[in-house]
Copies of this chain bind each other. A is one copy, B any other.
Amino acid sequence: MKKTYSEENYLKAIYHIDQNGLKVSPKAIAAALDNNPASVIDMIKKLQEKLLISYDKVNGAKLTPPGKASALDIIRKHRLWEVFLVEKLGYDWDEVHDIAEQLEHIQDDRLAAKLDAFLGNPSFDPHGDPIPAENGKMPVYANILLSDLEIGKMGKVGSVRDTSTPFLKYLKQLQLGLGSSIEVLDKLEFDQSMIISINNGPPQTVSSKMTSNILLIPC
């Protein structure tokens, strides 16, 4: 069953909110899509009728198996296109999100498979996020939130949770990219901010908002 551009964005948003362990409420969806909760209710009804989600006020929205398959398919396409934009066209990793948001909606039965093969079947996108396989299986790897890393420990940046342009620009300014090493020098209890060293550079203070969006491969 073919889906509209907008339906696909809702499925993706629902998937992401759920992955973050949050309740998928109309308010949360509206925040993710930068629109109005009243609009979200309309779409919830539509997606329910199409059997792509279930919904009740208490539990929020849940993707049905076909709904989840659709969401993963869109995420797969999004991340494959990001690899294309960075690896083949030479964009920086902080420039590709908005373009991939558009490209992910291109409809063709064979496109994702052909793109995947052309790119050499990558497992992770330029932000380190796993690319679902055709069957929806996610490549996994051990990682830990920077905010959970103890004082004195080190890790290598494996992926970032927030892939918005402002956040990635901030990371660029910190000279921090995938594979950069981070050492936790100190944690400030009162606001959960951290003092870290990037690639053995000088100490820098970063907010808890930042540290809760960086995933590390511990070492």
Q: List residues of A whose CB falls within 8 A of some B CB.
A: 88-91, 98-99, 102-103, 105-108, 110-111, 114-115, 118
Query: Nearest chain-B residue to A81 (Cβ)?
Result: B106
CB distance from A96 to the nearest CB of B (A): 9
Query: How far, in whole Å, are A91 and B109 apart by their CA atoms in the complex?
Result: 12
Cα of A19 to Cα of B183 in the assembled complex, Å: 63
> Could you say which of B98, B103, B114 contacts A89, with CB atoms under 8 Å apart?
B114
Cα distance, A142 to B115, chains bound together (Å): 35
Residues B108 and A98 in contact, CB atoms below 8 Å apart:
yes
Give CA–CA (A111, B84) in the complex, Å: 12
Judging by beta carbons under 8 Å apart, are B115 and A89 in contact? yes
Complex CA gap A146/B91 in Å reads 44
Contact, CB under 8 Å: A111 / B90 = no
Residue of B nearest to A90 (CB): B114
Q: Is B106 a contact of A102 with CB atoms below 8 Å?
A: yes
- With a cutoff of 8 Å between Cβ atoms, the chain B residues found around residue A115 in the complex are 89
Specify which chain B residues have a CB less than 8 angstroms from the CB of A118 in the assembled complex: 88-90
Bound form: Cα–Cα A111–B103 in Å = 12
